[in-house]
Every structure is written in C-alpha cells, then in structure tokens.
Amino acid sequence: MSDKFDVVVIGSGPAGYVAAIRAAQLGLKTACIEKWQNAEGKGVNGGTCLNVGCIPSKALLDSSYKYHEAKDDFSVHGISTKGIDINVPSMIERKNNIVKQLTGGISALFKANGVTSVFGTGKLLSNRKVEVTGLDGKTQTLEADNVILASGSKPIDIPVAKVDDKVIVDSTGALEFDSVPKRLGVIGAGVIGLELGSVWNRLGSEVVVLEAMESFLSIMDQQIAKETQKILTKQGLDIRLSCRVTGSEVKGKKVTVTFTDKEGKEQKETFDKLIVCVGRRPYTEGLLSEDSGVNLDERGFIYVNDLCATDAPGVWAIGDVVRGPMLAHKGSEEGVMVAERIAGQKTVMNYDVIPNVIYTHPEVASVGRNEEQLKADGEPYKVGTFPFAASGRAMAANETQGLVKIIAHAETDRVLGAHIVGPSAADLIQQVAIAMEFGSSAEDLGLMVFGHPTLSEAVHEAALAVHGHAIHVANKKKR
C-alpha cells in the first residue's frame, strides 16, 4: 500500500465513510481509517451509527412495535391472535444480522469506489501525517494533502451511576439484553433514553425514566413536547422530571438508584437493569498530537469554521466531533461538502434546515425553528396545526395520535419551522424540509396538490391552517 494519499479520513461512521466515498468519486486517492472491531475481533466499518447506534436501535424499535401491535392492537382490525410471545435472543440476532449486512456493505462500497480501507487507530501528527496503529499493534505513517477527522462521539459517563456492562449499561449495552427486565430504569429523557425505554416498555418492562431537566424535551417545540409526553405516558413510560440522580448501588442482579425529586426529597428505586444515557461527547482521546495544529473549543469539540476547516491547513473535521447537532445525516452532508471543497468545488451546507427525529411510536420530528425560539428572537410568526385524528388515512391505520404544526413568518409567509408528533413523522418532516430549502411560503404548501388519502395531507392542512384556511378541521377564529 502506498503511504501517500490525496485524502485520509479518520473514522468510518456516517460522516467519515460518506466523505471517503465522495472524495474517491471525485478522483482523489483516498484512505479511510477505522478502529472499530466486531465480536470476532475483526475490523468493521460504520462507526457508532451502524454498529451500536441508529441502525440497531431502529431494528429493535421496529421488532418491539410489531410485537406490541400483534399483542395489543390487532383486535381493532378484527384480527384474533393467541399465544403471542417474544423471543428476545432471536430479536437480537436479527438486529445483529442487519448490522453485519450494512457494515459489510460499506466495505463493498469502498471497494467499488476505490477507497483504501485501513483498520487501526489513527492519530493526526504535524504536516498532515497520520500515524496508524493497526489491530495487530504495528504502526505505519500515512501522508496526505488533506486529512478529514471524523472520530465521532461516545456516551457520557456519570460518577453516580458507573457502567458495569452487567446491571448498569450505556446505550450500547441496552441493545444486548438477552431477556426483558421486569423493572428498567433509564437516566435521561432525551432521544436515546426515550427510544430505548420504548423498546423494552413494549416488550413488558416497567420503565421509569429519570430526567434532571424541569421541562420535557426542552430542545423541541413545547406544544409538540407536551403532546409527546402525554402519549408516551399513556403507553406506560413513567417519566419523572426534575429528578437528579445522586447515587447507585448494585447488589447481586439489581441496582438501587438514589435521586432527589422535584420537591428536593430523596427517593430510591430498585431496578433489574439501569440504562445511562445522559448525552454524548466528542471522541478525541489519542486523536491529535500536540503539534497537529488542531484546536479544541471550550466544550471539547474540534474547532472548525462554517466550512468544517480546522486551524491546521488541509485538516478538516466533520460529524459528532464538531459543533452542531449530533446527527448522522448532518455528519454525512458535512462529509460531502468537505470532499467537494477539497476537489475545488464551492459547496456549502444549509445548517438551518436539518431535520431531527425521535423514533418512538408515534415518531417525533422537527425542522427549522420552534415557537419558543421565535418568541425569544422577537420575530413575528403565524402557526397552523392539524391533528391526525382528523386524517382519514390515519384513522384507517388506527394511528390518530399527534399533530402537525407549521410556523410561518407573519409578514413574508416564509416557512420557518415544522414540528410533528404522529405516524410517519420522520418522512413527513422531510416534505417541509424540501419546501424550506427552496424558500417556500405556507401559501405555497397550501397550493400544492397532496394525494388522498395520505398522511401527508396533514402537512397540507397545517399549512392551510396558518391562514385559517384548513378544510378538514375547524379553524381558529381571528381575534
């Protein structure tokens, strides 16, 4: 293998592998370094997302929801079922097979596009040299005209609940349970906590979610957040806000968690398993030599400009390791942008239109700004909402919980944001994201023809409701 490349990428998660493939497509000699190993100790691409994040969690979410449907919801359709059971090891095996197929797919894509795959730990030295310590412990040095850092993130540890990978686990361990815990504790009511809590709640766990924040899903539009909390509580998730965990003690196969409630009183709960998911932090351990020229910001992220360039010439950083939301699709598009800029193109990225999704059921999705942000900015706006309870397609599917909310500028009518909790929210939000990317107004969305009967008609009606023109729900009277 030649040691000189046009581009060397460190990390093969959604940011890194996409950057490597796009760079190779543009005729750049590219290598991608990955240190992840599978259960057999072999190098595997895909990073957190494909191996222990986005993909495996969605596999379990879908499996658990099908079980819930068969057990609890089929009767409404006139379907009788008896003896429904869940085989957890089989569910986990299916998840593992999906991961294996997709991570293997990246290797095939690398080969098809001419990307050199290197398994080992990469460290950036000065002058765009990268030291690679292979899985066998041997080292080699690669030289590059450009280096792209895409090392990702890792779960945040908290001293009061040390992960032992047996009783107390992080998000990775929560994907590997071999049976359904009778009582499951979750520290953190964020995206990961709600998704994992939903999986095991559907399968029969009594789930208690402890969240330190006073408000539920504080980063989301609060009308949608409150509706989501109501729906998830009805499903059986015991969500406790303003609860600060102060300690934990493992005895045998159980863990007792100590926490203060919203009144400041000390409480204790005992669980069979405890999932710690209080967020993630950028992964930079061993990534940079002292003379690499790359700087970190005050929160430990690699400092980059709007185009993902670091302070070191020819060194770029993308994905979870830099500012912005830790989202796979955000990292992927940064990878495309950087690869194209290295190739001399003028690509830029619109950070104002990045969809965000929580894959509970129903899904929760958003794009653009929420009502609280617009109020804080003093920007005039109008709101249109439409409930799925008024959607014929949602009723036919027995999926009537939730609503679509569209926010438009009060003067220009430009769509500023959309927020959805309901069936297929992840796909519906993309319709609004496309509209926003092209500068659409609420009126534009209202003038478009939407297929009937579809869930997407809820987007259409919410856009009409911005101006009080909704057809299939009573409009709010103007004050």
Give the phi and the psi of residue 271 in degrees, each rounded to 5: -130, 160
Q: Report the distance separating Cα 171 and Cα 278, nearest Å.
A: 10
Q: Is 68 a catalytic residue?
A: no
Helix H, strand E, coil C: the string for the chain is CCCEEEEEEECCCHHHHHHHHHHHHCCCCEEEEECCECCCCCECCCHHHHHHCHHHHHHHHHHHHHHHHHHHHHHHHCCCCCCCCCCHHHHHHHHHHHHHHHHHHHHHHHHHHCCEEEEEEEEECHHHEEEEEECCCCEEEEEEEEEEECCCEEECCCHHHCCCCCCEECCCHHHCCCCCCCEEEEECCCHHHHHHHHHHHHCCCEEEEECCCCCCCCCCCHHHHHHHHHHHHHHCCEEECCCEEEEEEEECCEEEEEEECCCCCEEEEEECEEEECCCEEECCCCCECCCCCCCECCCCCECCCCCCECCCCCEEECHHHCCCCCCHHHHHHHHHHHHHHHCCCCCCCCCCCCCEEECCCCEEEEEECCHHHHHHHCCCEEEEEEEHHHCHHHHHCCCCCCEEEEEEECCCCEEEEEEEEECCHHHHHHHHHHHHHCCCEHHHHHHCCCCCCCCCHHHHHHHHHCCCCCCCCCCCCCC
Residue linked to tokens 């979410």: 61
Contact (Cβ atoms closer than 8 angstroms) between residue 189 and residue 212:
no
Of 177, 160, 188, nearest to 250 (Cα)? 160
Annotated catalytic residue within 452, 460, 469, 472: 452
Of 239, 242, 269, 266, nearest to 257 (Cα)? 269
Radius of gyration for the chain, computed over Cα atoms and rounded to the nearest angstrom: 24
Burial of 274 from C-beta contacts in 10 A (0-12 / 13-18 / 19+): buried
Using CA atoms, how far residue 280 sits from 34, 146, 218, 452, in Å, is 19, 27, 17, 42
Active-site positions? Answer: 452
